[in-house]
Amino acid sequence: MSLPFLKQLGIGELSLPICTGARHSGDDSDGVQESFSPADGKLIGKIGKAKQSDYEHVVATAEKAFLHWRSVPAPKRGELVRQIGVKLREIKDPLGRLVSYEMGKSLQEGLGEVQEMIDVCDFAVGLSRQLYGLTMHSERPDHRMYEQWHPMGIVGIISAFNFPVAVWAWNAMLAAVCGDVSVWKPSKKAPLTAIAIFNAIGEVFKDNDVPEGVMSYIVGPGAVVGESMINDTRIPLISATGSTRVGIRVAEACARRLGKSILELGGNNAIIITPSADLKLTIPAVVFGCVGTAGQRCTSTRRLIIHESMYDQVKAALIKAYTTVRIGDPLDTTNHMGPLVDTGAVKDMQDALESARQEGASIIYGGEVLSGAGFESGCYVKPCIVEAKNEMEIVQQETFAPILYLCKYSGDVELAIAQQNGVPQGLSSAIFSTNVLEVEEFLSTRGSDCGLANVNIGTSGAEIGGAFGGEKETGWGRESGSDSWRYYMRRQTNTINYGKELPLAQGIEFDV
């Protein structure tokens, strides 16, 4: 495969399974992992499979690197991240193309994802001078108390296929300025994007004399590499992005060794449309939320909870808008929607639609698998609109595909909020309303129970400046902006006695 962007990114026919910064190693003696494009079904490249000895090498190298990296001043660590950001700017176009080609999102979204990496680098550079702790007044005379934040060690990053590069950057850049080192296991559905990044940033490590091991990747199956990581006591923090099923496995393994975890798992995101909603804003937000990334964003809109007075109007407007969605090659910028990631995802979508039918839901638009010229990979589907009820079993689940369930409510917004919250997941939510009372109710303590709650914008996507994450089955912890950095550091409370007495706390007298 000799696509120009692969050449620009240094991706040949066979890539090595591990890299500890600038040095790639490992081999293909244990077989290879192949990466196919869902856009045209073609083989993009092969990667040797990592062995247990490769895993040991990566973690031992990271452990050694941490002993050095933790003592580098944080702003100097930020300088490395700044230079990585510069490198990412240089490869934004080819990397965005590879993201699009390897996992199927539209080129615009592929480029947007790389932009997100660049933005998080900039954010982390600023953060490297702002890792603040608090001081507090001691109850004892001549004592000073404060807290400081120290680097934690190795951060294990496990990423999902749908944001194959941005999730790594959210974690690795914050970890790096916090003085941690990171080991990344990319998704086996999009491993070449990881290799492309390290091909580019290797120079930055070399130019700055950064020891091997500050940032690494290892390509291998979740059940081998992933399992080794989550059970490894040398890795104090695992940040895992993926399905709730895998997240529960990660949580169990980490909890058994009292390791920490950040879990960014499945969502089942709803938009509430109230009688006062401005449909000029609502309809495009819904269509992008459901069809963007072919419904394969954790924040994709999966449910609409529509007031009965608006229902027919919204339904008609959506069907009309869906007929204009152009589906096809994700690298062709005239298309809105590319393929699903693989034929397994297509089958999951078809199975979900069958379950919906059996539960009495009606498919009112789309859902078919597309065939014919341009659709040979078998991964293209028509986005689908289904009339359903929130309590149906299939509506309670996250199906990672462009299926939108329309549900109705009557009465006050409280009833819509109850439906919105009435699923096991808690990632993203939105309300379209111009009524301040409804909006405030939605944002109140009785309102949305999700990690993200938006007003007059959709559920899909988030800015890197905010803390990103969810509640309930979506997991725990936050990534990216705000004070998410605290998850990557250990907090230490310090008490200093600068007096000549030794007063005990709580007034305790202890004469010896």
Positions in the binding site for ligand NAD (CB under 6 A): 158-163, 185, 187-188, 222-223, 226-227, 230, 241-243, 246, 249-250, 264-267, 298, 398, 400, 427, 470, 474
380 close to 328: Cβ distance less than 8 angstroms: yes
Q: How far is the CB of 186 from ligand NAD (least distance, A)?
A: 7
Kindly report each contact of residues 222-226 with a partner whose C-beta sits within 8 Å and lies 24 or more positions away, as own/partner.
222/158, 222/185, 222/188, 222/246, 224/50, 224/52, 224/55, 225/50, 225/55, 225/185, 226/158, 226/185
* Pairing relationship of beta strands 428-432 and 471-472 according to DSSP bridges: unpaired
Catalytic status, residue 438: no
Q: Which of 264, 398, 438, 479 is catalytic?
A: 264
Q: How far is the CB of 249 from ligand NAD (least distance, A)?
A: 5
Q: How far is the CB of 90 from ligand NAD (least distance, A)?
A: 26
CA distance 256 to 248: 12
Catalytic status, residue 384: no
- Per-residue tokens: 480: 């990216």
Residue closer to ligand NAD by CB (options 33, 128) is 33
* Residue 364 burial (10 A CB sphere; 0-12, 13-18, 19+): middle
* Residue 94 burial (10 A CB sphere; 0-12, 13-18, 19+): buried
CA distance 248 to 262: 12
Q: How far is the CB of 276 from ligand NAD (least distance, A)?
A: 30
Identify the residue whose tokens are 């009606």.
362
Who contacts 420 (Cβ-Cβ below 8 Å, separation ≥6)? 270, 272, 303, 305, 429, 448
Q: How far is the CB of 467 from ligand NAD (least distance, A)?
A: 12
> Taking the CA atoms of the chain, what radius of gyration do you get in angstroms?
24
Q: How far is the CB of 334 from ligand NAD (least distance, A)?
A: 27
Residue closer to ligand NAD by CB (options 432, 468) is 468
**b vs e for 425-441, b when ≥16 Cβ sit within 10 Å of the residue's Cβ?**
bbbbbbbbbeeeebbeb
190 close to 102: Cβ distance less than 8 angstroms: yes
Nearest alpha-carbon partner for 385 in 455, 321, 307, 299: 321
Q: How far is the CB of 240 from ligand NAD (least distance, A)?
A: 6
Helix (H, G, I), strand (E, B) or coil at 490: strand
Residue closer to ligand NAD by CB (options 242, 328) is 242
Q: Strands (DSSP E) along 21-125, which ranges?
A: 24-25, 32-36, 43-48
Q: How far is the CB of 89 from ligand NAD (least distance, A)?
A: 24
CA 386 to chain centre: 27
Identify the residue whose tokens are 């919906």.
356
Q: Which of 19, 121, 178, 298 is catalytic?
A: 298
Q: Which residues pair with 492 in a beta bridge?
A: 148
CA distance 152 to 17: 26
143 close to 497: Cβ distance less than 8 angstroms: yes
Q: Which residues are catalytic?
A: 264, 298
